[in-house]
Amino acid sequence: MKRVEGKVVLVTGGAGGLGAASARMLAREGAKVVVTDRREDEARAVAQELGDAGFFVALDVTQESQWENAMARTLEKFGRLDVLVNNAGMGIVKDIETMSLDEWRLVHAVNLDGVFLGCKHGIAAMRKSNAKGSIINISSIAGIVGVGQFPAYSSSKGGVRLLSKSVALHCAAKGYGIRCNSVHPGYVETAMVEALAQAGGQAEKTRARMLKGIPLGSFGEPDDVANAVLYLASDESKLMTGAEVILDGGATAQ
């Protein structure tokens, strides 16, 4: 039997990177996947690639009305929601002295407000369908240790880490049967990591410096994160809530 057979999953930021990898893996393992993003053409292409298992909904995670629409369309299409993957995120490579307040607020709006809204409306949708659900919030090792070039990203991802624990405890206390965990990737081969490498104008030197901080000596791949998402989406992880899954090649063990 496939590991998430019969489950309905909504993935934010599904147009590429970790979101698209997670959507593909979850569909291969038997889930129906609602692929959402504000990059509509790319996200729709991912959903179409999944065939009958895929369904596209446009979603800007900073807009509550769009979350309400996405949940309503998911329930209308599939009748339930079992898993929510809050993956949408962004970063601006500026230090604390050069970042503007508007840039700070934008990063937090996407990375933290978006996860708050997802958890809020995801819980409501799961309760409507009596699902023993799983909320999976994609954070970062930058939410555990600071990154000098990424103050807003680090702050927002640290917020995701503790928000996940709050949501887990709330749902457990209410007896909802809904779990919530966070995933903390290190450097993974995505557009965001490439942008970080390019920001200083010496991409190869920057990548070499990144690699030097990873004891296992290699960057992650999107499927490494998708495997963790699959585990947390499945009933194999039924005892996990309020926990952190760290995928960093040993970087934070030092």
DSSP string for 156-195: HHHHHHHHHHHHHHHHHHHT---EEEEEEE-SBSSHHHHH
Please check whether residues 110 and 210 belong to one and the same domain: no
| Residue 60 within any structural domain of the chain | yes
pLDDT of residue 202: 74
Please check whether residues 176 and 228 belong to one and the same domain: yes
Query: Is 246 strand, coil or helix?
Result: strand
Take residue 220 and report the two structure tokens written for it.
Answer: 């992650």
Take residue 198 and report the two structure tokens written for it.
Answer: 């390019």
User: Burial level of 76, CB count in 10 A (0-12/13-18/19+)?
Assistant: exposed
- Per-10-residue mean pLDDT, the chain, length 254: 95 97 98 98 98 98 98 98 98 94 98 98 96 96 90 97 98 98 92 70 77 90 97 98 97 93
Please check whether residues 118 and 60 belong to one and the same domain: yes
d(CA 104, CA 42): 26
| Residue 83 within any structural domain of the chain | yes
The whole-model pTM stands at: 0.95
Measured on CA atoms in the order 112, 116, 121, 127, is the torsion positive or negative? positive
- Per the structure, the count of domains in the chain is 2
| Residue 48 within any structural domain of the chain | yes
Please check whether residues 131 and 209 belong to one and the same domain: no
Indicate which residue of 153, 176, 187, 231 is catalytic.
Answer: 153
Alpha carbons within 13 A on the beta-carbon side of 46: 30
| CATH assignment of the domain containing 75 | 3.40.50.720
Please check whether residues 213 and 131 belong to one and the same domain: no
| Residue 80 within any structural domain of the chain | yes
Take residue 32 and report the two structure tokens written for it.
Answer: 């129906």
> At which residue do the structure tokens 């927002």 appear?
156
Please check whether residues 156 and 53 belong to one and the same domain: yes
Closest CA to 121 of 202, 35, 61, 207: 61
| Residue 253 within any structural domain of the chain | no
Q: Note if 153 is an active site residue.
A: yes
d(CA 49, CA 42): 11
| Residue 2 within any structural domain of the chain | no
pLDDT of residue 200: 65
| Residue 39 within any structural domain of the chain | yes
**Which residues constitute the domain of residue 208?**
191-219
DSSP one-letter code for 220: B
Take residue 140 and report the two structure tokens written for it.
Answer: 């970062």
